[in-house]
Structure 1
């Protein structure tokens, strides 16, 4: 009969207190203190100090991870308990098998002690199945439709020594164990506040590729890591130790990318990645830190199903694209129109139709009852055409996602707001807008958090310095539509600003909209229907609810960007305003981390209650630095 596990831990802790006295004469206290303060020991216990007020405790929030009763708070107590549990007559093979990475490290640090030869069948069978030879860091691109993946995601593939198909290797992933019934608002709140337990999962790599490349249509970068065999094996040993424990999950700092860094730190004394991420851990920044440390041998690009389809569409005529769609959506597979094409064009149309059928199945959750059968029919028809390769290889992007500008931004600006000159300091916590340097980022996308502007103006020879604007979030996704893929473009922003009609007061705002985007000759055009809510005690009824069209043109390039946008909201409820905003912005990159900008805007405003009418032209010039 087996004892409950918590009962075993209590007894082991008690025996450790007794048996450690016999070791006290063998190990000087100074050496114990040195080992307890050793970075590798702290990494194995996940003692990392983060936040504005760091606490010295393990980030593991699971009692089963510690042998000592106060092990979460005292690395020295945990060290003593581990040594006692692993050595002498009181050695506990069950705990040795539970913590192979700790056991391995202690045998190297204290070779003079009597460590037993441990036999751990379950662990050894698992280790043999993993068969570790090397590690590959996988970085799916940002996915704006999920709060937890807006900045991208990272996980690690453990490459096997035997076998040549990477899809059959295992991957380790850290994510929030969320309640599937929680809506997006609850999910976001709990993710920001640590309301979910974070857990590691070990899955076949093909399941992760299916999830990101097919289901979410996200491109994936794969980075082969430059680790020794000993470091790879210690990584896997530690993976075994944390595979069943939980951590409090936080979107901003203790997230997927951060926790993977803790595993790498625990695997090698060469690494100390997590100390650079005490306040936040954006996935691209963590990948950048690994690359800059010289821990990347090479990188490989894995395009998503959506990217492959887009490439195919670019190589076909509109008639051929329509034919591919009909081959999928019609009730019967009619190939008579297909026979009119030459064999190469037939093969191209069938390949696009096959990819489109898969896209409908996993992405759009199509209600076509024949879709599963049709996918097989398309594949069978394509196999009868003796053309092995009809599309060019998908080109590797010139810039990887980690080679873009840094996430934080500092901007110094000077300009004229229509009545006064001003100087402005702007600082943004994250991450990218549509005038920022494009390389390494998604075209047409914007994701900003905590963007603050402080402005100094002179009015009647009196200088005023005050908060001009604080955007909490500002997110936009302007993905172009084509004959097969029809995404909705959207944006949402909220925060505080000084209205041009009442610059002495801060107003809160919420702005959101949806619509369509198209691309022509590399230029992106969009039209959205926007809704806007402003709250301000100084306006009639204290609020203004409006809606109207937003039209824009984006021209984004490797070295420069241009954006023109017009917005005309119409009153719905609350105060009565007439407003028109037209803005033009230009940016030019000065290397990877510097940029200059010129922006100009025209604003007209009319308030029905006061009959106040104003026309304002503003302009500014900025120097931007990413850090």
Structure 2
């Protein structure tokens, strides 16, 4: 329903001789306009130069001229509009703004308001039947730029959710970027950072979101049941109606899905303060932690992804049995092979169930195929004849219990015979050596990392500025063979012609494989490409091909990484490095990292560097 305020509705109201709104005391209106709840309903924030501005970037949301920056004028216009003739029906301001109407009626005891028939809103609200609220966190998924930090949405449940297990009939309340057309990943990331997309709220069946996150993207889901009352949940849903098709600015790091949902929770429960803690960034895990710290979480449920369920079911199988899983998933007639029928019945049950799950995993995102459906049916028949034991999936560490997202760094070290101190800040949010509790295995997402170095003699230099440094080292196995990859870009120091260091700009990436060599040992090998601007090179841009290989070991102290990398430039320059890093986990948000590195270059003698760095993870 396109809004018709302020011009058309007020014109109609005048034509129909609307009941005049009673005059209100100016001091009373001033107090109401500054009330935190009215500020929340208008999504106002304090402007950078004083005054107010609304996060809403849509004139259709406001009734007053300049209402996006004047809560007092918007309040007065809303009060006048509530007395419009009841004949306006669904177009009546009370029908368009039910949350505003409820609050103003309660605050001012408005018992003389017209009573319009809000048929559209009433039918919508009855269909949703809001009773309780669940905050849903789909875990991080590195292969999608929009999902690499995770995501949050709200599930609105009906009253019989627990008795009848009707979660699939619930609605999911989501805020996200509205994208017209197909943007590639790089353009998406850039426009997301710069506010190039509008953001919209959407209320869709939860089963659709569940299928999208658990199946299409193979992401674990964490569900945080909130202790909101039915009245509080209803109050929030009323405000969602006010936001239908209303556009916000959308920014990837702050005004994003998580931040907007915190605003809704502040409307549901007046007095709770959630958004104040996020003036710069609002990373989903931090916002989940804020909701939990505010005492809003009643219960936490975990839904593993299809991929995790497949790996859990196939974990007891040996290599030969997993090979049978592959054959049976491709051709269920292999269930009659002698190699399979020779297995004990309990092993047969595990193999055929794993084959069925592998087939479902492969079919995700594909068009329905009659042959695949026949294979699934044949496997289901075999499973029915010989059912496996109930599947038990180990529950990983909760995402909000991991370290916080921003990292302050203080280090000392020596580069050959020169001592230095180093000071750093990383805006977000995890590398391979950080405390891995609550984070995906082999995942690294670093955004905006700055390091300044101070050598003896008070010589300062910019050591590095990483705009992004992302690595996904997902182990390959018999059943699943994902690619590992990395991408990064920014400014860094490299060896120069005169033995000094040069600050160069670069963009690099690579792809390859990772393998689980033991329970806590991961090996990886990637081929890499790099382009670099270096003042020592004749060409403005120099390309290079290379490698990056190493080990990642989760040990009793923390995480250890051993890496070798090399870049072979088109102009003949060869640059290689060996590095060792061991982090001690002093506390969840405090780590001590020892690093040693030896660098080689055609332009200079080898250089050794050793450093000890204290890392404080603090939002």
With the shorter chain as reference, the TM-score category is over 0.9
Distance 2:297 2:70 in 1: 34
The answer to whether structure 1 residue 69 and structure 2 residue 68 are counterparts is: no
Q: Does the CA contact (< 8 Å) of 1:443 and 1:556 recur in 2?
A: no
Shift of 1:544: 3.2
Q: 1:11 to 1:49 in 2, by over 3 A?
A: same
Distance 2:109 2:53 in 1: 28
Aligned length: 608
Q: Does the CA contact (< 8 Å) of 2:289 and 2:400 recur in 1?
A: yes
Q: Does the CA contact (< 8 Å) of 2:86 and 2:114 recur in 1?
A: no
Q: Secondary structure in 1 aligned to 2:131?
A: strand
Distance 1:566 1:505 in 2: 21
How do 1:54-133 residues align onto structure 2 when only pairs under 5 Å count?
Answer: 56-87=52-83, 93=89, 94-112=92-110, 114-133=112-131
Unpaired stretches in structure 1, ≥5 consecutive residues = 608-612
Equivalent position of 2:610 in the other structure: 619
Q: Does the CA contact (< 8 Å) of 1:154 and 1:257 recur in 2?
A: yes
Equivalent position of 1:599 in the other structure: 595
Distance 1:366 1:86 in 2: 50
Q: Does the CA contact (< 8 Å) of 1:497 and 1:508 recur in 2?
A: yes
The answer to whether structure 1 residue 478 and structure 2 residue 510 are counterparts is: no
Equivalent position of 2:523 in the other structure: 525
Shift of 1:72: 1.8
Distance 1:484 1:430 in 2: 33
Say which is worse superposed, 424-433 or 105-114, in terms of deviation: 105-114
Q: 1:368 to 1:239 in 2, by over 3 A?
A: closer
Distance 2:557 2:291 in 1: 26
Shift of 1:118: 4.4
Distance 2:555 2:320 in 1: 30
The answer to whether structure 1 residue 442 and structure 2 residue 440 are counterparts is: yes
Shift of 1:277: 1.5
Q: 1:491 to 1:297 in 2, by over 3 A?
A: same
Shift of 1:11: 3.9
The answer to whether structure 1 residue 169 and structure 2 residue 193 are counterparts is: no
Equivalent position of 2:347 in the other structure: 345
Q: 1:578 to 1:8 in 2, by over 3 A?
A: closer
Equivalent position of 2:241 in the other structure: 240
Shift of 1:23: 4.6
Q: Secondary structure in 1 aligned to 2:429?
A: strand
Shift of 1:258: 1.0
Q: 1:203 to 1:54 in 2, by over 3 A?
A: farther
Unpaired stretches in structure 2, ≥5 consecutive residues = none
Distance 2:309 2:166 in 1: 21
Distance 2:308 2:29 in 1: 55
Shift of 1:113: 5.0
Distance 2:446 2:84 in 1: 57
Provide the alpha-carbon RMSD of the alignment.
2.4
Shift of 1:331: 8.1
1:511 to 508, 525, 549: 508
Distance 1:215 1:54 in 2: 45
Equivalent position of 2:389 in the other structure: 390
Shift of 1:504: 5.1
Say which is worse superposed, 280-289 or 266-275, in terms of deviation: 266-275
Q: Does the CA contact (< 8 Å) of 2:18 and 2:84 recur in 1?
A: no
Q: 1:22 to 1:29 in 2, by over 3 A?
A: farther
Equivalent position of 2:255 in the other structure: 254
Normalised to the residue count of structure 1, the TM-score between the two structures is: 0.92
Normalised to the residue count of structure 2, the TM-score between the two structures is: 0.93
Equivalent position of 1:360 in the other structure: 362
Distance 1:120 1:382 in 2: 52
Q: Secondary structure in 2 aligned to 1:590?
A: strand
